[in-house]
């Protein structure tokens, strides 16, 4: 029984194709201008990696910011439910999921069966989302994906006093001009961002186990900073943290097929 | 009768020297690490501008964050009280003062004798500060001083849904890519700015006369939008409310000397 989940986010699009609980392919691409284009392109990639055709997919669930524009989805489900499902699948002891994407941050609480009990999210303020780190990486002329590694060599992280992305950017420029070490600035930014995310997560209460998903979860510095600020050891996802939503969508597709009487 | 007020804040220090209600000097300096140093330096500057020596000052009141460390004051008064007093001296009919600077936005409400009733400030978020307009002008490729005039020339202003400067910037870029006119987008920028300021102003309660101070008074689009949103006519003032605290302290010093109760 082959199913798929397709998650079209603001910055990336992902597809997970599963066959009886095994992941066949899970590509991630940068989102195009139009969500339908992103969906088609990432699905084509997933199909070719899994070496199957579109007809082989028995059920497909769409999720994410652009979910309504996915042409081949049989059903759409909110990313909150999908993230809960995905995380629970590889870590049944998970109770809190912190998903930080390019344009938002969510904290999701699930019960012992993986059902979403509470959630909270921020998409109003860029601070505390992936965009914050992206802007800072640009300002310091370093690569976003290198930030985690760079922060590891910091001995004394600077303290960033501004929360607002715009004001913090100016602060970073002054810090660079004051010859502060880049690793110390990057590490300070991770801490600042961790505090922002932590205040969101505390809104629903932190219960272990905690995992992080979304693109920002690929940043090892954010793992450490957020673990420190929350006072818990955040666990690593067993799959690419960016595909968690698409994985949940594929799992929900599988459930949908199983619960349907066969025709 | 020569009096002085000295306001030592965390970022700047100010002194106002007055002679019979007339301002002789009102310098502003960046604060030094130690408040006593800031106080001495800004006072020396004020004295030299006014052509006076310290002996000429008959009474001096200190205020601000570092007021307890000012060596030459006769008394200290809280900065809140001094700010209200100073604002009332500068703008006697003002009951609400909206001051929008490059990095913050403050709204203060005062009563007829200059008592500060309420005060609210936003310096945490760039939205609703001059910085928001600066960022947008850059994206639109217009000069900051030309942004205000765009509102009047707009035909079909777009609406910006985001409050956050970062997200609103992305919206502006999207609108530009969709071929919307600079005027229509500029108008939406001014409107978004005014909306944010109106929320802050309404939270202290807006009472006439409403005065606006600070650099953003030059943006006619923001002023007009704000007038519409608040339902009042706004009076613009070129006074620099930065010295209101030191000025209020000087006014209190004068009242002390005159034997008036505070």
What residues are paired with B96 via a beta bridge? B109, B210
User: How close does chain B come to A6, measured CA to CA in Å?
Assistant: 25
The complex's ipTM works out to 0.85
Q: What is the pTM of this model?
A: 0.83
Alpha-carbon distance A114 to A91, whole Å? 10
Alpha-carbon distance B2 to B20, whole Å? 7
Q: What mean pLDDT is predicted for residues A221-228?
A: 95
Alpha-carbon distance A81 to A85, whole Å? 6
Residue bearing tokens 């400030």: B121
Alpha-carbon distance B174 to B106, whole Å? 31
Element (H, E) at A210: strand A210-213
Q: Mean pLDDT across chain A, nearest whole number?
A: 93
B80-124 pLDDT per residue, tens: 889 889 888 988 999 999 988 888 898 999 998 888 899 898 989
Q: How far is CA A39 from CA A5, A13, A70, A240, B251, in A?
A: 11, 7, 6, 19, 68
Beta strands B96-100 and B2-8 are: unpaired
Q: What's the pLDDT at B23?
A: 93
CB contact under 8 A, B166 and A163: no
In chain B, residues 213-242 whose CB comes closer than 8 Å to chain A: none
Beta strands A22-25 and A12-19 are: antiparallel
Q: What's the pLDDT at A260?
A: 74
Nearest CA-CA partner of A21 in A86, A100, A76: A86
Q: What mean pLDDT is predicted for residues A8-32?
A: 93
Q: What mean pLDDT is predicted for residues A19-36?
A: 92
In chain B, which residues have their Cβ closer than 8 Å to the Cβ of A164?
Answer: 124-126, 165
Handedness of CA A61, A63, A68, A70 (dihedral sign): negative
B191-211 pLDDT per residue, tens: 999 999 999 999 999 999 999
User: How close does chain B come to A18, measured CA to CA in Å?
Assistant: 35
Six token digits for residue A199 = 């205040």
Six token digits for residue A221 = 């510095």
Q: What mean pLDDT is predicted for residues A1-24?
A: 93
Is residue B166 less than 8 Å (CB to CB) from chain A? yes
For B157, phi then psi, to 5°, come to: -55, 140
Six token digits for residue B179 = 């071929």
Report cis status (omega within 30 of 0) of the bond before B209. Answer: yes
Residue of B nearest to A135 (CA): B166
Alpha-carbon distance A154 to A159, whole Å? 13
Q: What mean pLDDT is predicted for residues A138-145?
A: 94
CB contact under 8 A, B125 and A125: yes
Is residue A11 less than 8 Å (CB to CB) from chain B? no
Q: What's the pLDDT at B260?
A: 64
Is residue B174 less than 8 Å (CB to CB) from chain A? no
CA dihedral B185, B189, B190, B193 (to 10 degrees): 170
Six token digits for residue A176 = 């660079």
Q: What's the pLDDT at A109?
A: 96
Q: Residue A204 in 3-state DSSP?
A: coil
A96-100 sheet: strands from edge to edge? A116-122, A105-110, A96-100, A210-213
Of residues B126, B163, B164, nearest to A167 (C-beta): B126
Helices (H) and strands (E) in chain A, counts: 8, 10
How is residue A213 annotated by DSSP?
Answer: E
Q: What's the pLDDT at A176?
A: 94
Largest CA distance in chain A: 70
Q: What's the pLDDT at B259?
A: 82
Six token digits for residue A197 = 């995310």
Is residue B164 less than 8 Å (CB to CB) from chain A? yes
In chain B, which residues have their Cβ closer than 8 Å to the Cβ of A167?
Answer: 103, 126, 131
Low-confidence ranges of chain B (pLDDT < 70): 260-262
Q: What's the pLDDT at A262?
A: 58
User: How close does chain B come to A167, measured CA to CA in Å?
Assistant: 7
- Share of residues in chain A with pLDDT > 90 (%): 84
């Amino acid at each position: 029984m082959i199913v798929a989940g397709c998650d079209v986010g603001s910055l990336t699009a992902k597809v997970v194709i599963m066959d009886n609980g095994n992941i066949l392919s899970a590509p991630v691409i940068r989102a195009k201008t139009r969500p339908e284009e992103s969906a088609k392109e990432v699905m084509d990639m997933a199909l070719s990696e899994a070496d199957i055709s579109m007809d082989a997919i028995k059920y497909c669930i769409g999720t994410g910011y652009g979910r309504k524009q996915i042409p081949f989805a049989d059903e759409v489900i909110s990313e909150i439910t999908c993230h809960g499902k995905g995380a629970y699948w590889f870590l049944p002891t998970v109770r809190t999921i912190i998903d930080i994407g390019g344009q938002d941050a969510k904290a999701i609480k699930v019960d012992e069966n993986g059902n979403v009990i509470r959630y909270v999210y921020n998409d109003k303020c860029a601070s505390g989302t992936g965009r914050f780190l992206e802007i800072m990486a640009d300002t310091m002329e370093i690569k976003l994906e290198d930030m985690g590694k760079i922060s590891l060599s910091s001995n004394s992280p600077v303290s960033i006093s501004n929360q607002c992305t715009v004001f913090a950017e100016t602060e970073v420029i002054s810090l660079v001009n004051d010859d502060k070490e880049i690793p110390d600035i990057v590490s300070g930014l991770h801490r600042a961002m961790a505090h922002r995310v932590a205040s969101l997560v505390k809104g629903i209460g932190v219960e272990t186990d905690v995992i992080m998903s979304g693109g920002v979860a690929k940043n090892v510095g954010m793992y450490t900073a957020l673990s420190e600020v929350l006072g818990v050891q955040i666990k690593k996802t067993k799959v690419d943290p960016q595909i968690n939503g698409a994985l949940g969508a594929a799992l929900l597709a599988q459930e949908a097929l199983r619960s349907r009487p066969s025709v | 009768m020569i009096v002085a007020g000295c306001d030592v804040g965390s970022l700047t220090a100010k002194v106002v020297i007055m002679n019979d209600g007339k301002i002789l000097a009102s310098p502003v300096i960046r604060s030094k690490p130690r408040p006593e140093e800031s106080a001495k330096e800004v006072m020396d500057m004020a004295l030299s501008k006014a052509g006076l020596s310290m002996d000429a000052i008959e009474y001096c009141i200190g205020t601000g964050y570092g007021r307890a460390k000012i060596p030459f004051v006769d008394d200290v008064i809280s900065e809140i009280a001094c700010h209200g007093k100073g604002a009332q001296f500068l703008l006697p009919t003002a009951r609400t003062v909206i001051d929008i600077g490059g990095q913050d936005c403050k709204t203060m409400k005062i009563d007829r004798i200059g008592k500060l009733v309420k005060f609210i400030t936003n310096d945490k978020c760039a939205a609703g500060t001059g910085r928001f307009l600066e960022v947008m002008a850059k994206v639109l490729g217009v000069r900051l001083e030309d942004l205000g005039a765009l509102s009047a020339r707009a035909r079909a202003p777009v609406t910006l849904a985001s409050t956050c400067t970062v997200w609103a910037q992305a919206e502006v870029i999207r609108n530009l890519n969709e071929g919307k006119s600079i005027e229509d987008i500029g108008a939406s920028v001014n409107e978004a700015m005014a909306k944010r300021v109106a929320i802050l102003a309404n939270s202290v309660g807006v009472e006439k006369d409403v005065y606006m101070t600070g650099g953003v008074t030059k943006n006619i689009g923001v002023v007009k939008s704000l007038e519409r949103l608040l339902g009042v006519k706004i009076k613009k003032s070129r006074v620099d409310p930065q010295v209101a605290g030191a000025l209020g302290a000087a006014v209190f010093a004068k009242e002390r000397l005159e034997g008036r109760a505070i």
